[in-house]
Amino acid sequence: MKVERLDLATIFVKDLDKATKLFSDLFETEFVEPWATEMDTRETIDPLGINLATPLTRDGVSAQVMERKGEGIVTLGFKVPKLDAAIVEMQSKGIRLLGREKIGNANVATFHPKDTCGAMILLAEYQEKDAAAAFSGR
């Protein structure tokens, strides 16, 4: 499968505002306005690809993962030129598709972490310069 680049790393955090401030200060970067996802999280991302996420509810899948694993990296995201072709290739290798969604201007597919050594894989197709611009729709 053609991958253009490692695009993002999603870090589960308990306090999104506190984590956003920490990473903004550490790396002198700015995060986009947070958004809610179909995966029951509230997220924000910066141009470096630091994607911070916190569960929206206590009983959703994201909250269960956070409870089991704690804070830390949960997802690796890759930019691909053709999402549909990438999905077919992933599935042909036995990697289960969890879902598809549109976030901002990005078309996104996520794959089951049990099939990929514990890391959820996210594939994204978009035209913007980086994931922050694509996911925020700017």
What DSSP designation does 2 have?
Answer: -
Separation CA 30–CA 138 (nearest Å) = 14
Handedness of CA 38, 40, 69, 21 (dihedral sign): positive
Total domains, the chain? 1
Segments forming the whole domain that contains residue 59: 5-136
Q: What is the CATH classification number for the domain harbouring 131?
A: 3.10.180.10
The string of pLDDT tens digits covering residues 50-90 is: 999 999 998 888 899 899 989 999 999 999 999 999 999 99
The string of pLDDT tens digits covering residues 97-126 is: 999 999 999 999 999 999 999 999 999 999
